[in-house]
């Protein structure tokens, strides 16, 4: 068994363009939008920015963790097809939890380096808001009075039943292991928000974002689909969560665990 992690280095493999949607709050402006449609949106925009015709794409590689719609089985295929990629081009979905984005580029690099393809379309998409409330034992019905077993897909994903702990406990374990204090955590959080707010205010992030509006995606031979924003929202142009967070304000928040570093 190798003692080191996975590593790849590629020669003459290039990233031509990159773009993302705004990152908005949980249950926010994009809460009713399917991850597939968010993926289609950025796929079309990435191809346009790169100046690469969709017909020249040889491989579609997508990443997603949690199902966010009933057609999620087809997420990689639909992202490719509605971006204009030919039907003959293979599409795959990758899941490596938090490392999924890195894995997408690694697999694209390997395919290009090995000659499997010359141009790959790489798309990661996720919606925490649309994580389902699911019951996996419902197919045979429920007995009267028996628990139905519905659980929050997202909440359950934050807990590893093998280790018997959740992500919050993991972070607390790391804080103890590396001697990270509550004050250091608050300072890091405050600095991170300050940098995000400054980058947003200066327009530094604008170039990497494609605004999301209500629109229809039409492609010859396929049923139309698209994005429909809810309520009075007509356009989502920027990340919504970054805000000024002074250290003294963060210090007044109650920790999740007594003596812990997270609030």
Helix (H) or strand (E) holding 152: strand 151-152
What is the rounded distance in angstroms from the CA atom of residue 146 to the CA atom of residue 199? Answer: 53
- CB atoms near residue 198 (< 10 Å): 12
The token duo for 56 is 């020249």
| pLDDT at residue number 90 | 98
How far, in Å, are 30, 201, 229 from residue 235 at the CA level?
Answer: 10, 18, 8
| pLDDT at residue number 1 | 58
| Bridge-based pairing state of the strands 165-166 and 159-160 | antiparallel
The domain containing residue 56 runs over which residues?
9-133+205-237
The string over 49-72, giving b where at least 16 C-beta atoms fall within 10 Å of a residue's C-beta and e elsewhere, is ebeeebeebbbbbbbbbbbbbeeb
Classify residue 254: in a domain, yes or no: no
What is the rounded distance in angstroms from the CA atom of residue 125 to the CA atom of residue 133? Answer: 19
Model confidence pTM above 0.85: yes
Which CATH number characterizes residue 92's domain? 3.40.47.10
Classify residue 191: in a domain, yes or no: no
Classify residue 209 by its DSSP letter.
B
Ramachandran category for residue 59: left, alpha or beta (phi over 0 → left; psi -120 to 50 → alpha): beta
Classify residue 261: in a domain, yes or no: no
Classify residue 44: in a domain, yes or no: yes
Helix, strand, coil content of the chain in percent (nearest 5): 35, 15, 50
Classify residue 43: in a domain, yes or no: yes
Q: How many domains does one find in the chain?
A: 1
- In tens digits, the chain (263 residues) has pLDDT values of 566 777 788 999 999 999 999 999 999 999 999 999 999 999 999 999 999 999 999 999 999 999 999 999 999 999 999 999 999 999 999 999 999 999 999 999 999 999 999 999 999 999 999 999 998 888 888 888 888 889 999 999 999 999 999 999 999 999 999 999 999 999 999 999 999 999 999 999 999 999 999 999 999 999 999 999 999 999 999 999 999 999 999 999 999 999 999 99
């Amino acid at each position: 068994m190798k003692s080191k992690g996975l590593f790849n280095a590629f020669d003459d493999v290039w990233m031509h363009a990159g773009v993302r949607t705004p990152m908005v709050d949980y249950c926010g402006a994009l809460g009713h939008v399917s991850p597939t449609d968010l993926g289609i949106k950025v796929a079309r925009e990435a191809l346009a920015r790169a100046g690469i015709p969709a017909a020249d794409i040889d491989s579609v590689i997508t990443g997603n963790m949690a199902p966010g719609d009933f057609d999620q089985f087809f997420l990689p295929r639909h992202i490719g097809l509605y971006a204009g990629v030919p039907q003959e081009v293979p599409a795959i979905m990758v899941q490596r939890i938090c490392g999924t984005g890195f894995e997408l580029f690694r697999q694209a690099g390997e395919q290009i380096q090995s000659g499997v393809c010359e141009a790959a379309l790489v798309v990661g998409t996720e919606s925490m808001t649309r994580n389902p409330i699911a019951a996996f034992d419902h197919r045979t019905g429920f007995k009267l009075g028996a628990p139905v077993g519905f659980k929050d897909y997202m909440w359950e994903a934050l807990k590893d039943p093998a280790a018997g702990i959740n992500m919050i406990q993991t972070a607390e374990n790391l804080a103890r292991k590396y001697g990270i204090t509550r004050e250091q955590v608050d300072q890091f959080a405050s600095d991170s928000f300050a940098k995000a707010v400054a980058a947003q205010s200066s327009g530094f992030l604008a170039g990497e974002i494609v605004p999301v509006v209500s629109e229809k995606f039409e492609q010859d031979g396929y049923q139309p689909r698209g994005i429909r924003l809810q309520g009075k929202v007509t356009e989502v142009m920027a990340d919504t969560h970054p805000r000024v967070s002074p250290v003294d304000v963060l210090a007044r928040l109650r920790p999740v665990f007594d003596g812990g570093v997270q609030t």
